[in-house]
Amino acid sequence: MLHQRKWRFLQLVGLLSMIILIISSCTNQQRSITNRKDYMQFLQASTAELDKIDRDIAFWSNKLKEDSSHTGAQSKLAGLYNRRFHFSGNINELFTATGYYEQANRLQKLFTASTYRQLATLSITQHRFWQAKFYLDSAYRLGDNLAYTLLQQFDAELELGNAAAAEKILNRYPQQQSFEVLIRKAKLSDHNGNLDKAIELLEQALAKITLTNNPHEWSWAKSNLGDYYSHANRFTDAYNAYLAVLKEEPQNYHCLKGIAWLAFSKDRNTAAAKEILMFLKEQHPVPDYDWMLAEIAAFEKDETAQKNHLAAFEQTTTGKIYGAMYNKYLFALYADETKDYAKALTIAQEEIKNRPVPASFDMLSWVHYRQGNFKEALAIAKANVENRCFEPDVLYHLALIYKANNQTDKYNELMKEVSTAIFELGPLFEKELQNS
């Protein structure tokens, strides 16, 4: 009898332990990642960085006034305007920077590889990838500081979808365990769908440098590591990475945007996300924030706000000044929101011409799917997308295309993979997944 009571007692203890574990698990799942107390100090308007840049611009502008052929002043001003863009969000400053570099090249009796590399950097920012490749080919022929040119050639080739060529170029770099190579190996691993390896490589790269000696490189690597962590559903790690960067660079808008997405997609705290994004719009007015605000409005079922933000985004990005920089989002706007398939098709064709990567062909297959051309969509996707791109939105498109073509096994296989990327896709995609 005593033995039976003891056994029942142990069963009860086990049952209570299991209940506590389940409750604890649910609580942990609901626990918010973001906390306003952590980041509110960074939601303070500041012109400190812009003021410093403007002082330097004034200094070198005066030098140029004294001597219009001062190529050093031209190059300094180009670099300053490029840096100013990252704090001001004024796209015109990229064109100003390009103009100064081009003028410096014309004034120099011997063109320099350094100037061509800087022009390539600006071109990549503007999604002018073939132009970047041209500049880097020119830099390579000049031969000075060839290692730096190789690194940027890797960047351009990967953007153009030439992963094999990019890897071959990277293997020619003399120091395979250097920071510069490791961050690119991480990018290549992410491109190939191996996120865990990408994180490992970027962590190794970060260990190669210090905040004291390489503040800009450290901040760049740490913030990108935050992005990788979030894609791997390591939300606390991502949040801590963003906060670590902000403590050193309070005006790192990329990290604030990352926290806004965590607040929205993970915590479902739309008020916090909107507060951060509205601050960013004031300080750094780029179109990205209207796009995210439109997504939040759609989640909140605020159709008026959604339409206003999408209209603002479209008006800003469709002019010549932004070129193809926002084509991915404009395509989604036309293919999924306004159902303007003619415009969506035009963008898809333009992207394939300028950047023939699997994600561009995904656009083409998706617009065919949207128009009901399921067999054509599948043919394009199988030839150019399948097993070549691992972005969750692309995999989602591919899954639905297979479903439309009655290939249920393929659909189920892909949806399992897509279901692990709910955070990256966002709350709206989660609703779609539930209904698909």
CA angle 162-168-169, nearest 5°?
90
Interior angle at CA 195, CA 189 and CA 196, nearest 5:
105
Question: Which band of pLDDT confidence, cut at 50, 70 and 90, is reported for residue 430?
Answer: confident
Give the tens place of pLDDT for each residue, 383-397. Answer: 999 999 999 999 999
Please, which residues have CB within 8 angstroms of residue 341's CB and are 6 or more apart in sequence?
Answer: 334, 335, 367, 370, 371
Average pLDDT estimate for 362-378: 98
Q: How far apart are CA 362 and CA 395, in angstroms?
A: 9
Mean pLDDT within 366-391? 97
Report the pLDDT value the prediction gives residue 409, as an integer from 0 to 100: 97
Grade residue 21 by pLDDT with cuts at 50, 70 and 90.
very low
pLDDT given for residue 30 in this prediction: 62
At residue 51, the pLDDT reads 97
Distances (CA, A) of 411 to 146, 376, 387, 391, 406: 46, 17, 14, 16, 9
Confidence of residue 206 (pLDDT cuts 50, 70, 90): very high
Mean pLDDT across the stretch 163-170? 96
Instruction: Kindly tell me if the per-residue pLDDT of 13 is higher than 90.
Output: no
Q: How confident is the model at residue 27 (pLDDT cuts 50, 70, 90)?
A: very low
Q: How confident is the model at residue 107 (pLDDT cuts 50, 70, 90)?
A: confident
Please determine whether the domains at 175-250 and 326-436 fall in the same fold group of CATH.
yes
Q: Is the pLDDT of residue 11 over 90?
A: no
pTM: 0.91
For the chain, which residues make up each domain, given as ranges?
A: 175-250, 251-317, 326-436
| Beta carbons of 182 and 202 less than 8 angstroms apart | yes
How many percent of the chain have pLDDT more than 90?
Answer: 85
Q: Which range has the worst mean pLDDT, 2-6, 28-32, 151-155?
A: 2-6
The DSSP-derived string for 22-90 is: HHHHHHHHHS-S--HHHHGGG-S---HHHHHHHHHHHHHHHHHHH-TT-HHHHHHHHHHHHHHHHHH--
406 CB neighbour count, 10 Å cutoff: 9
How many other CB atoms are found less than 10 A from the CB of residue 40? 12
User: What is the average pLDDT score of the chain?
Assistant: 91
CATH classification number, 326-436, choose in 3.20.20.70, 3.30.1490.20, 3.60.15.10, 1.25.40.10 = 1.25.40.10
Q: What is the pLDDT of residues 300-311, one digit of tens each?
A: 999 999 999 999
Q: Which residues contact 371 (CB under 8 A, 6 or more apart)?
A: 341
The CATH architecture of the domain made up of 175-250 is: Alpha Horseshoe (1.25)
Q: How confident is the model at residue 24 (pLDDT cuts 50, 70, 90)?
A: very low
Residues 188 and 163: beta-carbon distance below 8 Å:
yes
Look at residues 412, 393, 387, 392 and name the one whose alpha carbon lies nearest to residue 402.
412
User: Which of the four pLDDT bands, split at 50, 70 and 90, describes residue 359?
Assistant: very high
Looking at 2-11, 62-71, 130-139, 154-163, which range is the least confident one?
2-11
What are the tens digits of pLDDT across the range 320-334?
Answer: 899 999 999 999 999
| pLDDT at position 210 over 80 | yes
